[in-house]
Amino acid sequence: MKTGTSETQATAQLNCVVELVNTLNDLSRDDYTAEEEVREAITDNALSVDVRSGWNSPGSLVAEEYCILLCTGGPAVRITGELDQYNQPHTAEIQHQDWGTSWQRLGTTEKDDEILLEYAGCFYFGE
């Protein structure tokens, strides 16, 4: 199965996410303007943000999972994970695919996973 191109793109997207989160974390805590600009850059980095739910009783739909699409086409890259009861990301993983292939998880380190979770936490998944 061919994954080289999509894996390369996923690695590039991961590097961008790491750079954005590191920039956010390196800011002075009282520099609200710069923090707002970086958070805006993070949310502008995503092509789309979606949530979905499992089986529920009518009228009680609760988002359980999220997807942040970073790029599409061949290749495509996304960050997916589960949401907690407060609509905050509980897990995060980066996935990639190319034309005619299924989504595959990019191998990441524990630190990468923490950064992906922090990146996902910059988005709003509520109503």
Q: Find the distance separating the first CA and the last CA of the chain, reported in whole Å.
A: 39
Mean pLDDT of 12-19: 96
Residue 18: phi, psi to the nearest 5? -60, -45
d(CA 14, CA 79): 10
Q: Coil, strand or helix: which one is 124?
A: coil
Q: Note the pLDDT tens digit of each residue in 21-48.
A: 999 999 877 888 999 999 999 999 999 9
* Reported pTM: 0.87
Q: Note the pLDDT tens digit of each residue in 64-104.
A: 899 999 999 779 999 999 999 888 999 999 999 998 889 99
How is the chain split among helix, strand and coil, in percent rounded to 5?
A: 40, 20, 40
Spatial CA neighbour of 9 closest among 85, 77, 55, 69: 77
Residue 120: phi, psi to the nearest 5? -60, -30
User: For 81, what's the count of Cα atoms within 13 Å in the CB-facing half-sphere?
Assistant: 22
Residue 85 identity (one-letter amino acid):
Q
Q: Using the predicted structure, report yes or no on whether residue 110 has a pLDDT greater than 70.
A: yes
Q: Coil, strand or helix: which one is 54?
A: coil
Token reading at 11: 């690695």
